[in-house]
A and B are shown apart, each in its own frame.
Chain A
Amino acid sequence: MSQVETGAGLGATEPRRTHKLTPLVTGARFLPFALFVGFITIGQNTAGEGLFVALAITIGVVVLIALLIAGFAYVSWRRLTFWFDEQGDLRVASGVLTRTERRLQLSRLQGVDVVQPFIPRLFGLSQVTVEVAGTGDSRAQIQYLGNEDAQNLRNSVIARAAGLHPDAGEAPQQALVEVPTKDLLVSLLLRGVTVVLFLATLLVVVVTWFATGPAGLFWLLLGGVPLIAVASEYLGFHGFTVAKSPDGLRTRSGLLQVQAQTVPPGRLQSVEFVQSWLWRSRDWVRVRITVAGMESDSDQQQGANTFKQVLLPVAPYDVAVAVVNEILPGVDARKTPLHPAPKQAKWRAPIQHRRLGVGWDDRVLVTSRGRFVWHLAVAPHARTQSVRVTQGPWQRRLGLATMHLDSPPGPVEVVALYRDAAEARALADAQNQRAQQALQSDPAGRWMQQRDEKS
């Protein structure tokens, strides 16, 4: 149960199970439910019979539920196996009544994530998610493996996908950035939304104090709303580190639940630097990314998703650019000359019009928007899916139009807002040209084609 067995070359391995403690840990997740049911039965029984009888019944019910769940967890653990087949692809067989066997073609690998959810983490267990390109449910979750075992599986999958020997071991990694706890906390508290909510709370408290006396203090509770938001992000991003490895950039963070992600350079669609207006004095930015295939995990919890969309929760711009340059070498969004939006744009966007701009060099398109929250988005030409020009009634009145660069679903929006109508059209054509040229000479594109022919 320790190592991922490997044959010669890309050979097949024997089917194997997950960690022995898996049924226990799966069962433990239902503990609150069992206790809740027990609680209800106590409540119903204390009325009639004595306390002793009630307690006995309750314990009986809880034990019964626990046995049922444990039994089911045990059987499904017994039936879940995974192995590498002769083609070197990962197969996962699972299911008690309905058997499913899933084959994950590793030549189409999107990413491997190792996550330690809270309870499994207490037992030293991790969950491995292997995701391949495809629409809908194109991934397998293997839960749970010992921490080291999970790392081995991850390395083995990545090595096989890259066509290396499965025992090649973990690609060496080099730490790039670690986000200091203090900076993270300060940045979360200084976000515009947080500050506005705090001020609103203060206002409500003061007003009700004058109106109704000390009872107004009750409204202090409102301040808890922004605090909860800050706390949950803090828990997710605590101890955020970015490291560089041959597979791509690796990020890792979390206080209770530890999450890790690898961003392969070829999968990156677009990047944006987001600056909240109170961050400007320190020149902090948050780096958000769109990676292909990210949005397909609809069942993922919100928290994990935000983590997946963030390459750096907060860092000075220089540091952020250095990290982004590991994936997009030589790209500096702020040094790309931007063409400002025309004067008429101020009638459509009175607040942000000075910030609107679009620029490009031979590799990327850069767009800028937003007054209070400044979004500086960067997309390589080779990742353009399609270009779009839109024009609403108000924009047409002003002779304006907007050019969009469409990329796979994700947090980054690359859009040149409110250009001169003729310019927008010219921009779209030019961008289309650049995209097609870039595609013909893009090494990542060719790499994909070679892969596809091989498989």
Chain B
Amino acid sequence: MVFWLVVLVGVAAVALAVSGVPLWSGVVVLVALILLVWLWWLIGRQVKAYGYVEREEDLLVRSGILFRRMVIVPYGRMQLVDLVAGPIDRMAGLSTVQLHTAAAATDAKIPGLPPENAGALRDRLAARGEERSAGI
């Protein structure tokens, strides 16, 4: 999101320079800048809202501010644990751990972990899942 806004601001700025400052491009840049500041603030809050606890028998993941959610996944129900890092994540040195159970609705995601932590977490979760595996 932030990435695309930065692109938008860049494009608008280029248009501004090329076409000799028409009024609309100035408005676009202004709106985009305001959005950018707002998103910066919002994403900061969202990141703070993310949290997870590794409990004895299950993992608890919490997220969201406006739409809050909390999901409890027993280790025995985890089918696979993914470690994902997109190009921008990698530039920032971050990765995401994603859990899957047989239920698609589970969708437990822990974004923004440093790669070492993420890898260790993934291995821990996978090991615990293996120990307590219960099928469907």
Contacts and interface: CB of A to CB of B under 8 A. Distances in A.
A, B co-complexed: yes
Interface of A: 133, 267, 269, 292-293, 383-393, 396, 401, 404, 406-409, 425, 428-429, 432, 435-436, 439, 445, 448-449, 452
A436 B57 contact: yes
Interface string B68-79: 111111101100
A448 B105 CA distance: 23
A386 B69 contact: no
A408 B136 contact: yes
A448 to B, nearest CB: 4
Contacts of A436: 57-58, 74, 76
B67 A390 contact: yes
Given A388-B106, A406-B101, A406-B103, 19 more contacts: A133-B136, A292-B136, A384-B74, A384-B77, A385-B101, A385-B102, A385-B106, A386-B73, A387-B71, A389-B71, A390-B67, A391-B67, A401-B68, A408-B103, A429-B72, A432-B74, A445-B134, A448-B136, A449-B134
Contacts of A293: 136
Given A133-B136, A388-B70, A449-B135, A439 B105 contact: no
Given A133-B136, A439-B74, A439-B134, A385 B103 contact: yes
B23 interface: no
A292 B71 CA distance: 21
A442 to B, nearest CB: 8
B18 interface: no
A392 B66 contact: yes
B97 interface: no
Contacts of B70: 388-390, 425, 428
Interface of B: 57-58, 66-74, 76-77, 101-106, 108, 134-136
Q: Is the interface of A mostly helix, strand, loop or mixed?
A: mixed
13 contacts: A133-B136, A292-B136, A384-B77, A386-B101, A388-B106, A389-B68, A392-B67, A425-B70, A428-B72, A436-B76, A448-B135, A448-B136, A449-B134
A423 B107 CA distance: 23
Contact of B105 (A392, A406, A425): A406
A34 to B, nearest CB: 41
A429 B57 CA distance: 12
Contacts of B67: 390-393
Contact of B102 (A408, A432, A449): A408
B102 to A, nearest CB: 4
A293 B104 CA distance: 12
Contact of A448 (B71, B72, B134): B134
A435 B74 contact: yes
A-B pairs, 3 with minimum CB distance: A406-B103, A448-B135, A385-B103
Contacts of B76: 436, 439
A269 to B, nearest CB: 8
A386 B106 contact: yes
A388 B69 CA distance: 7
A269 B72 CA distance: 18
A296 to B, nearest CB: 11
Contact of B69 (A267, A390, A452): A390
A389 B134 contact: no
A449 to B, nearest CB: 7
Nearest to B70: A389
Contacts of B101: 385-386, 406
A453 to B, nearest CB: 11
Given A409-B103, A428-B70, A436-B57, A386 B108 contact: yes
Contacts of A445: 134-135
B69 A391 contact: yes
A280 to B, nearest CB: 30
A180 B76 CA distance: 44
A133 B79 CA distance: 12
Which of B57, B102, B105, B136 neighbours the largest number of chain A CB atoms within 10 Å of its CB? Answer: B136
Nearest to B71: A388
Contacts of A401: 68
Contacts of B57: 436
B104 A386 contact: no
Contacts of A435: 74
A368 to B, nearest CB: 19
A389 B69 contact: yes
A401 B105 CA distance: 17
Given A388-B71, A435-B74, A436-B74, A406 B106 contact: yes
A445 B69 CA distance: 29
Contacts of B68: 389-391, 396, 401
